[in-house]
Structure 1
Protein backbone atom coordinates (compact mmCIF):
# COMPACT_ATOMS: atom_id res chain seq x y z
CA UNK A 1 0.00 0.00 0.00
CA UNK A 2 1.72 3.14 -1.21
CA UNK A 3 1.07 6.69 -0.07
CA UNK A 4 -0.13 9.66 -2.05
CA UNK A 5 0.92 13.13 -0.94
CA UNK A 6 -1.29 15.77 0.65
CA UNK A 7 -0.15 19.38 0.83
CA UNK A 8 -1.40 20.25 4.30
CA UNK A 9 -2.39 18.56 7.55
CA UNK A 10 -6.12 18.30 8.19
CA UNK A 11 -8.69 17.11 10.68
CA UNK A 12 -11.25 14.52 9.63
CA UNK A 13 -13.13 11.96 11.79
CA UNK A 14 -12.92 9.46 8.89
CA UNK A 15 -9.11 9.29 9.25
CA UNK A 16 -6.48 7.95 11.65
CA UNK A 17 -3.19 9.88 11.81
CA UNK A 18 0.25 8.45 12.56
CA UNK A 19 3.72 9.98 12.86
CA UNK A 20 5.93 9.20 9.87
CA UNK A 21 8.84 7.18 11.26
CA UNK A 22 12.41 7.72 10.01
CA UNK A 23 13.78 4.45 8.64
CA UNK A 24 12.70 2.17 5.80
CA UNK A 25 9.57 0.25 4.98
CA UNK A 26 9.68 -3.41 5.93
CA UNK A 27 7.32 -6.26 5.12
CA UNK A 28 7.93 -9.06 7.61
CA UNK A 29 6.64 -12.59 7.06
CA UNK A 30 6.80 -15.50 9.44
CA UNK A 31 5.67 -18.88 8.16
CA UNK A 32 6.28 -22.17 9.94
CA UNK A 33 8.84 -20.53 12.24
CA UNK A 34 10.85 -19.04 9.36
CA UNK A 35 11.04 -15.24 9.37
CA UNK A 36 11.75 -13.33 6.15
CA UNK A 37 11.87 -9.59 5.43
CA UNK A 38 11.67 -7.32 2.37
CA UNK A 39 12.12 -3.63 1.68
CA UNK A 40 9.51 -1.56 -0.19
CA UNK A 41 11.24 -2.33 -3.50
CA UNK A 42 10.98 -6.08 -2.75
CA UNK A 43 14.65 -6.56 -1.90
CA UNK A 44 15.04 -9.33 0.63
CA UNK A 45 16.83 -8.10 3.76
CA UNK A 46 16.22 -11.00 6.16
CA UNK A 47 19.88 -11.46 7.09
CA UNK A 48 20.24 -7.74 7.95
CA UNK A 49 17.99 -7.86 11.04
CA UNK A 50 18.53 -11.05 13.07
CA UNK A 51 17.15 -9.35 16.18
CA UNK A 52 13.72 -9.36 14.48
CA UNK A 53 13.64 -13.13 13.86
CA UNK A 54 11.67 -13.93 17.02
CA UNK A 55 8.29 -12.39 16.09
CA UNK A 56 6.07 -11.85 19.17
CA UNK A 57 2.90 -13.20 17.52
CA UNK A 58 1.65 -16.79 17.69
CA UNK A 59 1.40 -18.52 14.30
CA UNK A 60 2.04 -17.42 10.74
CA UNK A 61 1.80 -13.71 9.99
CA UNK A 62 2.64 -10.95 7.48
CA UNK A 63 3.19 -7.45 8.87
CA UNK A 64 3.79 -4.02 7.33
CA UNK A 65 5.75 -1.33 9.12
CA UNK A 66 8.97 0.62 9.39
CA UNK A 67 12.35 -0.54 10.64
CA UNK A 68 14.09 2.17 12.64
CA UNK A 69 17.32 2.74 14.56
CA UNK A 70 17.47 4.98 17.59
CA UNK A 71 20.34 7.34 18.28
CA UNK A 72 21.54 6.21 21.74
CA UNK A 73 22.08 9.76 23.04
CA UNK A 74 18.51 10.99 22.49
CA UNK A 75 16.35 7.97 21.51
CA UNK A 76 15.28 9.65 18.25
CA UNK A 77 15.12 7.60 15.08
CA UNK A 78 17.76 8.11 12.39
CA UNK A 79 17.39 7.17 8.72
CA UNK A 80 21.17 7.25 8.25
CA UNK A 81 21.70 4.46 10.82
CA UNK A 82 19.11 2.23 9.13
CA UNK A 83 20.59 2.81 5.67
CA UNK A 84 24.05 2.02 7.03
CA UNK A 85 22.72 -1.17 8.58
CA UNK A 86 20.97 -2.20 5.36
CA UNK A 87 24.28 -1.97 3.46
CA UNK A 88 26.23 -4.29 5.79
CA UNK A 89 27.37 -7.53 4.14
CA UNK A 90 29.57 -9.34 6.65
CA UNK A 91 27.78 -11.56 9.13
CA UNK A 92 30.09 -10.46 11.97
CA UNK A 93 29.31 -6.76 11.42
CA UNK A 94 25.59 -7.45 11.22
CA UNK A 95 25.79 -9.41 14.49
CA UNK A 96 27.74 -6.61 16.19
CA UNK A 97 25.24 -3.98 15.06
CA UNK A 98 22.28 -6.11 16.12
CA UNK A 99 23.82 -6.32 19.59
CA UNK A 100 25.14 -2.75 20.05
CA UNK A 101 22.57 -0.78 18.03
CA UNK A 102 19.55 -3.01 17.41
CA UNK A 103 16.72 -1.98 15.14
CA UNK A 104 13.10 -1.58 16.15
CA UNK A 105 10.13 -2.57 14.03
CA UNK A 106 7.26 -0.11 14.24
CA UNK A 107 4.19 -1.89 12.87
CA UNK A 108 1.15 -0.24 11.35
CA UNK A 109 -0.65 -3.11 9.62
CA UNK A 110 -1.26 -6.85 9.58
CA UNK A 111 -1.94 -8.46 6.19
CA UNK A 112 -2.20 -12.19 6.96
CA UNK A 113 -2.71 -14.19 10.11
CA UNK A 114 -2.65 -17.99 10.31
CA UNK A 115 -3.71 -18.51 6.69
CA UNK A 116 -6.34 -15.75 6.65
CA UNK A 117 -5.94 -12.84 4.23
CA UNK A 118 -6.84 -9.68 6.19
CA UNK A 119 -6.27 -7.14 3.42
CA UNK A 120 -9.97 -7.00 2.53
CA UNK A 121 -10.91 -5.91 6.06
CA UNK A 122 -11.16 -2.20 6.93
CA UNK A 123 -8.05 -0.65 8.51
CA UNK A 124 -9.69 -0.27 11.94
CA UNK A 125 -10.53 -4.00 12.00
CA UNK A 126 -6.99 -4.96 10.97
CA UNK A 127 -5.60 -2.67 13.67
CA UNK A 128 -7.89 -4.27 16.27
CA UNK A 129 -6.62 -7.73 15.29
CA UNK A 130 -3.01 -6.51 15.40
CA UNK A 131 -3.48 -5.04 18.88
CA UNK A 132 -4.86 -8.36 20.13
CA UNK A 133 -2.14 -10.62 18.72
CA UNK A 134 1.06 -8.55 19.04
CA UNK A 135 2.97 -8.84 22.30
CA UNK A 136 4.90 -5.56 22.11
CA UNK A 137 8.48 -5.65 23.38
CA UNK A 138 11.72 -3.68 23.01
CA UNK A 139 12.01 -4.69 19.30
CA UNK A 140 8.34 -4.68 18.14
CA UNK A 141 5.88 -1.84 18.71
CA UNK A 142 2.65 -0.52 17.25
CA UNK A 143 2.77 2.90 15.61
CA UNK A 144 0.95 5.57 17.62
CA UNK A 145 -2.40 6.59 16.14
CA UNK A 146 -4.51 9.71 16.67
CA UNK A 147 -8.13 9.68 15.63
CA UNK A 148 -9.44 12.58 13.57
CA UNK A 149 -6.96 15.29 14.63
CA UNK A 150 -4.14 15.42 12.09
CA UNK A 151 -3.34 19.10 12.61
CA UNK A 152 -2.39 18.63 16.27
CA UNK A 153 -0.24 15.57 15.52
CA UNK A 154 1.42 17.45 12.66
CA UNK A 155 2.34 20.35 14.98
CA UNK A 156 3.75 17.90 17.50
CA UNK A 157 5.95 16.03 14.99
CA UNK A 158 7.10 19.29 13.39
CA UNK A 159 8.21 20.57 16.82
CA UNK A 160 10.24 17.38 17.22
CA UNK A 161 11.78 17.78 13.72
CA UNK A 162 10.21 14.51 12.58
CA UNK A 163 9.53 13.73 8.94
CA UNK A 164 5.76 14.33 8.96
CA UNK A 165 2.54 12.39 9.40
CA UNK A 166 0.47 9.80 7.56
CA UNK A 167 -3.31 10.03 7.26
CA UNK A 168 -5.20 6.77 6.73
CA UNK A 169 -8.88 6.40 5.99
CA UNK A 170 -10.38 4.21 8.74
CA UNK A 171 -12.35 2.08 6.28
CA UNK A 172 -9.46 1.60 3.83
CA UNK A 173 -8.72 -1.85 2.48
CA UNK A 174 -5.08 -2.81 1.92
CA UNK A 175 -4.28 -2.57 -1.79
CA UNK A 176 -0.93 -3.27 -3.44
CA UNK A 177 -0.67 0.07 -5.22
CA UNK A 178 -0.71 3.82 -4.55
CA UNK A 179 -3.98 4.95 -2.96
CA UNK A 180 -5.52 8.23 -1.85
CA UNK A 181 -6.81 6.34 1.21
CA UNK A 182 -3.30 6.72 2.69
CA UNK A 183 -1.70 10.17 2.52
CA UNK A 184 1.68 11.48 3.63
CA UNK A 185 2.01 15.04 4.82
CA UNK A 186 5.66 16.03 5.07
CA UNK A 187 6.76 18.54 7.68
CA UNK A 188 8.05 21.74 6.17
CA UNK A 189 11.80 21.58 5.85
CA UNK A 190 11.88 17.73 5.73
Structure 2
Protein backbone atom coordinates (compact mmCIF):
# COMPACT_ATOMS: atom_id res chain seq x y z
CA UNK A 1 0.00 0.00 0.00
CA UNK A 2 1.33 3.42 -0.94
CA UNK A 3 1.46 6.00 1.84
CA UNK A 4 -0.10 9.34 0.81
CA UNK A 5 2.14 12.40 0.56
CA UNK A 6 2.28 13.61 4.15
CA UNK A 7 4.19 16.82 3.43
CA UNK A 8 0.83 18.58 2.94
CA UNK A 9 -0.64 17.52 6.27
CA UNK A 10 -2.04 20.28 8.46
CA UNK A 11 -1.85 20.12 12.23
CA UNK A 12 -4.24 22.02 14.47
CA UNK A 13 -6.23 22.04 17.67
CA UNK A 14 -9.32 19.87 17.38
CA UNK A 15 -12.85 21.26 17.33
CA UNK A 16 -15.74 19.55 19.06
CA UNK A 17 -16.96 18.67 15.56
CA UNK A 18 -13.88 16.40 15.18
CA UNK A 19 -14.96 14.15 18.06
CA UNK A 20 -17.03 11.66 16.03
CA UNK A 21 -14.32 11.27 13.37
CA UNK A 22 -11.69 10.68 16.08
CA UNK A 23 -13.95 8.05 17.69
CA UNK A 24 -14.28 6.27 14.31
CA UNK A 25 -10.53 6.43 13.71
CA UNK A 26 -9.73 5.08 17.20
CA UNK A 27 -11.88 2.03 16.42
CA UNK A 28 -10.41 1.67 12.92
CA UNK A 29 -6.81 1.49 14.15
CA UNK A 30 -7.57 -1.82 15.92
CA UNK A 31 -4.78 -0.95 18.41
CA UNK A 32 -6.61 1.55 20.61
CA UNK A 33 -9.41 1.18 23.10
CA UNK A 34 -12.37 2.85 21.42
CA UNK A 35 -13.82 4.97 24.19
CA UNK A 36 -17.26 6.58 24.17
CA UNK A 37 -18.01 9.23 21.58
CA UNK A 38 -18.67 11.54 24.50
CA UNK A 39 -15.08 11.10 25.74
CA UNK A 40 -13.70 12.24 22.36
CA UNK A 41 -16.15 15.15 22.16
CA UNK A 42 -15.00 16.24 25.61
CA UNK A 43 -11.31 15.95 24.70
CA UNK A 44 -11.88 18.05 21.56
CA UNK A 45 -13.82 20.64 23.52
CA UNK A 46 -12.47 20.94 27.06
CA UNK A 47 -8.92 19.72 26.37
CA UNK A 48 -8.43 21.17 22.87
CA UNK A 49 -5.29 23.04 23.96
CA UNK A 50 -3.55 19.74 24.73
CA UNK A 51 -4.93 17.72 21.81
CA UNK A 52 -4.21 17.81 18.07
CA UNK A 53 -5.46 16.50 14.75
CA UNK A 54 -3.62 15.97 11.49
CA UNK A 55 -5.52 16.17 8.24
CA UNK A 56 -4.98 16.09 4.51
CA UNK A 57 -7.58 18.29 2.89
CA UNK A 58 -10.74 17.24 4.78
CA UNK A 59 -9.48 13.74 5.60
CA UNK A 60 -8.48 12.91 9.18
CA UNK A 61 -5.00 11.37 9.09
CA UNK A 62 -4.40 11.19 12.84
CA UNK A 63 -5.09 12.58 16.28
CA UNK A 64 -3.46 12.94 19.67
CA UNK A 65 -5.45 13.31 22.87
CA UNK A 66 -3.53 14.48 25.90
CA UNK A 67 -3.82 16.55 29.05
CA UNK A 68 -1.65 18.12 31.73
CA UNK A 69 -1.57 15.97 34.84
CA UNK A 70 -3.35 17.99 37.55
CA UNK A 71 -0.84 17.05 40.27
CA UNK A 72 2.14 17.50 37.89
CA UNK A 73 1.41 20.42 35.53
CA UNK A 74 4.85 20.06 33.91
CA UNK A 75 3.79 16.60 32.63
CA UNK A 76 1.77 16.02 29.49
CA UNK A 77 -0.05 12.69 29.66
CA UNK A 78 -0.75 11.35 26.16
CA UNK A 79 -3.98 9.42 26.40
CA UNK A 80 -4.16 8.21 22.79
CA UNK A 81 -2.45 8.71 19.45
CA UNK A 82 -4.26 7.28 16.48
CA UNK A 83 -3.12 7.29 12.87
CA UNK A 84 -5.34 6.26 10.00
CA UNK A 85 -4.09 2.97 8.50
CA UNK A 86 -3.40 4.70 5.17
CA UNK A 87 -0.96 7.07 6.90
CA UNK A 88 0.78 4.68 9.29
CA UNK A 89 4.55 4.45 8.94
CA UNK A 90 4.88 8.03 7.68
CA UNK A 91 5.77 9.73 10.97
CA UNK A 92 2.34 11.25 11.58
CA UNK A 93 2.29 10.30 15.28
CA UNK A 94 5.70 11.82 15.84
CA UNK A 95 4.67 15.01 14.07
CA UNK A 96 1.51 15.22 16.17
CA UNK A 97 3.61 15.07 19.35
CA UNK A 98 6.02 17.68 18.02
CA UNK A 99 3.09 19.92 17.11
CA UNK A 100 1.77 19.68 20.66
CA UNK A 101 5.13 20.30 22.30
CA UNK A 102 5.77 23.35 20.11
CA UNK A 103 2.63 25.13 21.32
CA UNK A 104 3.24 28.19 23.45
CA UNK A 105 0.53 27.01 25.86
CA UNK A 106 2.59 23.86 26.57
CA UNK A 107 5.99 25.56 26.90
CA UNK A 108 6.33 24.46 30.53
CA UNK A 109 6.09 20.75 29.73
CA UNK A 110 9.19 18.90 30.96
CA UNK A 111 7.87 15.34 30.87
CA UNK A 112 5.68 13.31 28.55
CA UNK A 113 3.92 10.22 29.85
CA UNK A 114 1.77 7.55 28.26
CA UNK A 115 0.69 4.04 29.06
CA UNK A 116 1.35 1.43 26.40
CA UNK A 117 0.25 -2.17 26.18
CA UNK A 118 2.94 -4.77 25.48
CA UNK A 119 1.59 -5.56 22.01
CA UNK A 120 1.52 -1.95 20.83
CA UNK A 121 4.92 -1.80 19.16
CA UNK A 122 4.19 1.37 17.11
CA UNK A 123 3.48 3.37 20.30
CA UNK A 124 6.51 1.88 22.02
CA UNK A 125 8.73 2.96 19.11
CA UNK A 126 7.10 6.40 19.00
CA UNK A 127 7.85 7.20 22.64
CA UNK A 128 11.38 5.79 22.50
CA UNK A 129 11.99 7.95 19.42
CA UNK A 130 10.62 11.01 21.21
CA UNK A 131 13.14 10.47 24.01
CA UNK A 132 15.89 10.11 21.40
CA UNK A 133 14.79 13.34 19.66
CA UNK A 134 15.14 15.23 22.92
CA UNK A 135 18.34 13.51 24.01
CA UNK A 136 16.70 12.34 27.20
CA UNK A 137 15.63 9.11 28.84
CA UNK A 138 12.50 7.05 28.57
CA UNK A 139 11.77 5.18 31.74
CA UNK A 140 9.21 2.39 31.81
CA UNK A 141 7.42 0.90 34.77
CA UNK A 142 4.46 -1.33 35.45
CA UNK A 143 1.43 0.89 35.83
CA UNK A 144 -1.97 -0.72 35.27
CA UNK A 145 -1.86 -4.44 35.97
CA UNK A 146 -4.16 -6.79 34.04
CA UNK A 147 -6.08 -7.50 37.22
CA UNK A 148 -7.26 -3.89 37.41
CA UNK A 149 -9.38 -4.33 34.28
CA UNK A 150 -12.81 -5.94 34.61
CA UNK A 151 -12.83 -9.70 34.18
CA UNK A 152 -15.44 -9.33 31.41
CA UNK A 153 -12.84 -7.65 29.20
CA UNK A 154 -9.61 -8.83 27.70
CA UNK A 155 -6.98 -6.19 28.36
CA UNK A 156 -3.24 -6.47 28.72
CA UNK A 157 -1.32 -4.68 31.42
CA UNK A 158 -0.21 -1.15 30.59
CA UNK A 159 3.35 0.06 31.09
CA UNK A 160 4.00 3.69 31.93
CA UNK A 161 6.46 5.43 29.60
CA UNK A 162 7.94 8.61 31.11
CA UNK A 163 10.09 10.75 28.81
CA UNK A 164 12.15 13.61 30.16
CA UNK A 165 13.24 15.95 31.33
CA UNK A 166 12.68 17.80 28.06
CA UNK A 167 14.46 20.91 26.98
CA UNK A 168 12.35 23.61 25.38
CA UNK A 169 10.55 21.81 22.55
CA UNK A 170 10.73 24.74 20.19
CA UNK A 171 14.53 24.94 20.32
CA UNK A 172 15.01 21.16 20.06
CA UNK A 173 12.50 20.80 17.23
CA UNK A 174 14.23 23.52 15.25
CA UNK A 175 17.17 21.11 14.90
CA UNK A 176 15.10 18.11 13.82
CA UNK A 177 14.61 17.22 10.16
CA UNK A 178 11.31 18.13 8.54
CA UNK A 179 9.24 16.08 6.13
CA UNK A 180 9.07 12.35 6.61
CA UNK A 181 10.16 11.38 10.07
Q: Common fold, TM-score beyond 0.5?
A: no
Q: Could you say which structure has the higher strand fraction?
A: 1
Question: Bigger relative contact order, structure 1 or 2, given CA contacts below 8 A and separation 6+?
Answer: 1
| Normalised TM-score (structure 2) | 0.31
Q: Could you say which structure has the higher helix fraction?
A: 2
User: Higher Cα Rg: structure 1 or 2?
Assistant: 1
| Normalised TM-score (structure 1) | 0.30
